[in-house]
Structure formats: C-alpha cells, structure tokens
Structure 1
Amino acid sequence: MAGNRAYDVFAIGVLVAFTVLVTSSLAISSALSASPSRAQG
C-alpha cells in the first residue's frame, strides 16, 4: 500500500527530527553548564 509507505516515511522523518532536536538541546545545555560564567555574560 502506498499510503502505508508514505506514513512510514513520515514517521521516520518525525523520529529523526525529534532525535536531532533532543541531541542539539542536550549539547547546548551541556555546553552552558560547562561554562556558566560565559553563559551569564
């Protein structure tokens, strides 16, 4: 079914986007916690 394949592609795209967002947010938070004086200005 073409509909199922399109849904699978959409689900995979959402999972990839969610993973990228979580990874980037974790990296930013870790970078800020590593240098708090720099983050506060």
Structure 2
Amino acid sequence: MPRNLSKNRIPFQPETKLGHSYKVCVDFIGNKLKELCLHWF
C-alpha cells in the first residue's frame, strides 16, 4: 500500500519545493494566528 501512495504522489514531485514552501508559510501564519488568539483571549 505505501508504494502505491508514493506512486500516486510522483506527478506532484516537480511542485514539491513550491508545495513545501507554501505549507511552511501556512504553518507560520497559523502559528502567528494562534499566538494572537492566545493573547486576545
């Protein structure tokens, strides 16, 4: 099963760097929003 999942992901590999940077950016923004919420509430 894991091999099938990895094979399905192969078409997306050219965009891996972009997707990774996007995920990091989203995680960073999410963490900042959490901090703001904690400060406010």
TM-score (norm 2): 0.64
Bigger CA radius of gyration: 1
Structure with the larger RCO, 1 or 2 (CA within 8 Å, 6+ apart):
1
RMSD: 0.5
TM-score (norm 1): 0.64
Uncovered stretches (5+) of structure 1, i.e. residues with no partner: 31-41
Uncovered stretches (5+) of structure 2, i.e. residues with no partner: 1-13
- Percent same amino acid among aligned pairs? 0
What is the aligned length? 28
